[in-house]
Amino acid sequence: MELLIKYTVVFLLAATPWIELMVVIPMGAAMGLSVTPLTIVAFIGNALPVFAIIALFRWWEQRRGPVQRRWSERATRVWDRYGLPGLALLGPVLTGIHLAAVMALALGAWRRQTAQWMVASLAVWAVVTGVVTAAGVEWLTRSD
């Protein structure tokens, strides 16, 4: 039961805006969770809200009006230089993946492409973070 609670906490934290995989995966490993299932749960927890944002974005704009398009200079520079792929890949580091999805949609990106790029970005970041975390755990628990 305790294990289920820990994975639920990981899932919920990963689903929380501005708490990204790079924080949740090492935190889960510090709680004693196995890195592979931890990475999968964190990925799913981070990706599901992205799908919800994409699904509900047009509805939100119809009810509340367009999302304000005043973004940080850094985020705008990423969009202008690299477009959706760059925003998706750098989103978890610059703004958080949830805000990156909102920004992409507000700037006119297609929903399907936004979903594909955001999920691909999360997958890359999850694998990299999982591998680095596993290596760190291995290094810290190694007895010479």
What pLDDT digit, counting tens, does each position of 3-22 carry? 999 999 999 999 998 888 89
Predicted local distance difference test score (pLDDT) of residue 72: 72
Domain locations in the chain as residue ranges: 2-141
**Residue 142: pLDDT over 90:** no
Predicted local distance difference test score (pLDDT) of residue 144: 60
Q: Give DSSP secondary structure letters for 85-114.
A: HHHHHHHHHHT-HHHHHHHHHHTT--HHHH
What is the rounded CA–CA span in Å between residue 53 and residue 126? Answer: 20
What is the rounded CA–CA span in Å between residue 127 and residue 21? Answer: 10
Say if residues 117 and 47 touch (Cβ distance below 8 Å). no
Predicted local distance difference test score (pLDDT) of residue 19: 87
pLDDT digits over 22-68, tens only? 999 999 999 999 999 999 999 999 999 999 999 999 888 888 877 76
Q: Please, what's the b/e burial string for 100-120 (b: 16 or more CB within 10 A of its CB; e: otherwise)?
A: bbbbbbebebebeebbebbbe
pLDDT digits over 54-111, tens only? 999 988 888 887 776 677 777 778 788 999 999 999 988 888 999 999 989 988 899 9
Predicted local distance difference test score (pLDDT) of residue 29: 94
Cα of 117 vs its chain's centroid, Å: 11
Residue 50 DSSP SS3: helix
Cα of 82 vs its chain's centroid, Å: 19
Per-residue pLDDT band for 143 (boundaries 50, 70, 90) equals: low
What is the rounded CA–CA span in Å between residue 32 and residue 5? Answer: 13
Largest pairwise CA distance in the chain: 62
